A and B are shown apart, each in its own frame.
Chain A
Amino acid sequence: MKPKVAFYWCASCGGCDEAIIDLDETLLDLLSSVEIVFWPAAMDFKLKDLQGMANGSILVSFINGAIRNSDQREMAELLRARSRMVVAFGSCAQLGGIPGLANLSGAKSIFAEVYPGGVTPRSFHQENGHALRLPDFFDNVSALGSVVDVDYYVPGCPPTPSIIREAINRLMGAELPPKGTVLAPDKALCETCPRKDTRPEKLLVREFKRTHQILPDQQTCLLAQGLVCLGPGTRAGCEAKCIDGNMPCTGCFGPTSRVRDFGAKALSAVASVADCNEEALTEEVMNGVPDPAGTFYRYSLPSSLLTPQHME
Chain B
Amino acid sequence: MLIRALEKIGAFVLRRFEEFGTIVLLYRETMRELGHKPRVHHILTQMSHLGVDSLLIVSLTLLFTGVVFTLQTADILIRFGAQGTIGGIISVAIGRELGPVLVAVVCAGRVGSAITAEISTMKVTEQIDALRVMAVNPVNYLIVPRMLACMIVVPILTVFGDVIGVLGGWVVAVYYSGISSYLYMNSIHTFVDVFDLTGGVIKAVFFGNVIAVLGCYYGLHSPDGAEGVGKATTRTVVSSIIVIFILNAVLTFILY
- Say whether A and B bind each other: no
- Residues in B lying within 8 Å of A, measured CB to CB: none
